[in-house]
A and B are shown apart, each in its own frame.
Chain A
């Protein structure tokens, strides 16, 4: 990507071979396009987003409406995915669940990046005492089962202290508070390396302030790995929500969370397996799509993969 040195042709005519100028994102997109699995993942995610948006304004039946037909009814033409143990339309609830999945996934990725990126940048840029403190927290965190701390946080924040009502937001907060360390560690490493580079030194010599150096010069150059890390945070958050709701510690009952639906259906699994199959398959496909896209992005942003 660097400027190519002028090449002197044998006939002594000076000609510059100007390499094509592409931005990081264009370059990554070109390589991502060649990865079929990542594209499939992206397509599935696009469908998920569309379903989630549609579910805000329209679902075949209201997601909470009980007894729209006989309970435990298997799939039929009227109810494509059947009815659950309370006679609710499962297709509608899957659509509503898509919205919750999107909210939890995107919300967590955004909030944990907002916590992790500044802390990682500060630790890597200032080093010394700032770094010691932040790294201390990061290292402690690697010795604990983080999801279980998040589980307790959800419980304490919503049920016990009544700070945040039990809902999507408290799950996002609890997850982000225990998972920002991944991003912080990555950004710290990036900014430790980038702060020694010539362009940062040049910017400092030109009189750039610390904040300008950090956000205008170091941050944009660490963007690729950050995007990859944030993409992998989405399936983790989605799985965390499903895990909590499945155990009955997540979203409260009428909410059409896929985890809670799986837990509902699990009790009647031997005679009505369709109730448990729909949400678990939806969840698995969603997680798969995000993981494929994440893998694709990682390869696309990795300079070593450049051909």
Chain B
């Protein structure tokens, strides 16, 4: 137990370092841009411009700006929005993260739940119509990008079934109702669900042919116990290894999904800020993303030994 905590602690420090390092790259990249964020405002005067630059510390030399920025980030302060003066970025992004996380967790649930269900059934009924239907769906599904699925779902639920949904799938009417979560989450999770289904099927097929599963059947255990406790637990290991890339994929996918459905999350903020040249927010969102990916990978690494006792930290 103490070893586990120590390991988690070490990893958390590493995640913090990686996060600062990665967002430093984005910080330096964006500060290479000539001019500044206020030049395209036509109504500004040189005095007002100088005051703006002073206010954001943009008149300092780059090294000084960088030192100030790193110090602030370490204290959890991501600065102030360049476009909407006075808006503190950290609380804004924390709020938006909770929105994105709601959709993201549901998507992860769809991915893993649906993917494993399809994979297990396809493996248990190998070479029957169940297997063929599930496998073909998976082979087609994982090539269809999330944003295409989102467009189709919007067309189906927002337009053809308008009477039924009353336009609530389109979020420009406002966000906050839990019934708005499933449609974008399914669009986000479906391509990865196909991938998980393929992986689960392959590893399940391998596992159900092993000696210990045959022994479990021979002992006369119930099918449910054999499948869930003996076969599935081992078949899950390859699936857990891809959880890290999966979370990265869901985060990347959420950028486009949130823009299609108008969900006020991190992804929408990211694109809006790039288009509005609000670099402080762009850097801030990136810092959040780097930290989220790091934490997701850490979670996976902590779950892993629980599933497979052969693996130690």
Q: Give chain A's interface residues, CB within 8 Å of chain B.
A: 37, 140, 142-149, 151-153, 155-156, 160-161, 235, 239, 242-243, 246-249, 262, 266, 269-270, 273, 276, 280, 283-284, 287-288, 291-292
Query: How far, in whole Å, are A160 and B140 apart by their CA atoms in the complex?
Result: 39
With A144-B22, A247-B256, A273-B155 already in contact, the answer to whether A287 and B143 are too (CB < 8 A) is: yes
Q: Which applies to chain A's interface (DSSP): helix, strand, loop or mixed?
A: helix
With A140-B18, A155-B274, A243-B256 already in contact, the answer to whether A160 and B145 are too (CB < 8 A) is: no
8 Å CB contacts to A: which residues of B251-310?
251-252, 255-256, 259-260, 270-271, 274-275, 282, 286, 289-290, 293-294, 297
Cβ contact within 8 Å between A235 and B34: no
Q: Give chain B's interface residues, CB within 8 Å of chain A.
A: 15, 18, 21-22, 25-26, 29-30, 32-34, 139-140, 142-145, 147-148, 151-152, 154-155, 158-159, 244, 248, 251-252, 255-256, 259-260, 270-271, 274-275, 282, 286, 289-290, 293-294, 297
Pairs A–B under 8 Å by Cβ, sample size 12:
A140-B18, A143-B290, A145-B252, A153-B29, A156-B29, A235-B143, A242-B147, A269-B159, A273-B155, A276-B151, A283-B148, A284-B143
Least CB distance from A52 to B in Å reads: 19
Least CB distance from A48 to B in Å reads: 14
Cβ contact within 8 Å between B21 and A140: yes
Neighbouring A residues of B251 by C-beta, 8 Å = 145, 148
Q: Which residue of B lies closest to A238 (CB)?
A: B145
Neighbouring B residues of A243 by C-beta, 8 Å = 145, 147, 256
Q: Which of A143, A155, A160, A235 contacts B293 (CB 8 A)?
A: A143
* Total A-B Cβ pairs within 8 A: 107
Query: How far, in whole Å, are A291 and B148 apart by their CA atoms in the complex?
Result: 17
Neighbouring A residues of B148 by C-beta, 8 Å = 262, 280, 283-284
Q: Which of A37, A142, A146, A269 contacts B139 (CB 8 A)?
A: A37
Cβ contact within 8 Å between B26 and A247: no
Least CB distance from B270 to A in Å reads: 7
Q: Which residue of A lies closest to B247 (CB)?
A: A145
Q: Which of A148, A156, A247 contacts B33 (CB 8 A)?
A: A156
Query: How far, in whole Å, are A283 and B144 apart by their CA atoms in the complex?
Result: 8
Query: How far, in whole Å, are A247 and B275 apart by their CA atoms in the complex?
Result: 10
Query: How far, in whole Å, are A196 and B49 apart by their CA atoms in the complex?
Result: 64
Query: How far, in whole Å, are A155 and B271 apart by their CA atoms in the complex?
Result: 11
Q: Which applies to chain B's interface (DSSP): helix, strand, loop or mixed?
A: helix
Most buried by B among A148, A161, A249: A148
Cβ contact within 8 Å between A161 and B33: yes
Least CB distance from B11 to A in Å reads: 11
Neighbouring A residues of B142 by C-beta, 8 Å = 291
Query: How far, in whole Å, are A38 and B105 apart by their CA atoms in the complex?
Result: 34
Cβ contact within 8 Å between A143 and B144: no
Q: Which residue of A lies closest to B286 (CB)?
A: A148
Most buried by A among B34, B293, B297: B293
Query: How far, in whole Å, are A2 and B151 apart by their CA atoms in the complex?
Result: 54
Cβ contact within 8 Å between B252 and A287: no
Query: How far, in whole Å, are A242 and B252 apart by their CA atoms in the complex?
Result: 13
Neighbouring B residues of A292 by C-beta, 8 Å = 139
Neighbouring A residues of B33 by C-beta, 8 Å = 156, 160-161
Least CB distance from B23 to A in Å reads: 9
With A144-B22, A145-B289, A148-B255 already in contact, the answer to whether A262 and B34 are too (CB < 8 A) is: no
Cβ contact within 8 Å between A149 and B26: yes
Cβ contact within 8 Å between A266 and B22: no
Q: Which residue of A lies closest to B296 (CB)?
A: A143
Query: How far, in whole Å, are A292 and B135 apart by their CA atoms in the complex?
Result: 13
With A280-B148, A283-B145 already in contact, the answer to whether A269 and B26 are too (CB < 8 A) is: no
Cβ contact within 8 Å between A266 and B260: yes
Neighbouring B residues of A155 by C-beta, 8 Å = 274
Neighbouring B residues of A239 by C-beta, 8 Å = 145
With A246-B256, A248-B275 already in contact, the answer to whether A266 and B151 are too (CB < 8 A) is: yes
Cβ contact within 8 Å between B29 and A284: no
Q: Which of A146, A246, A270, A288 contacts B147 (CB 8 A)?
A: A246
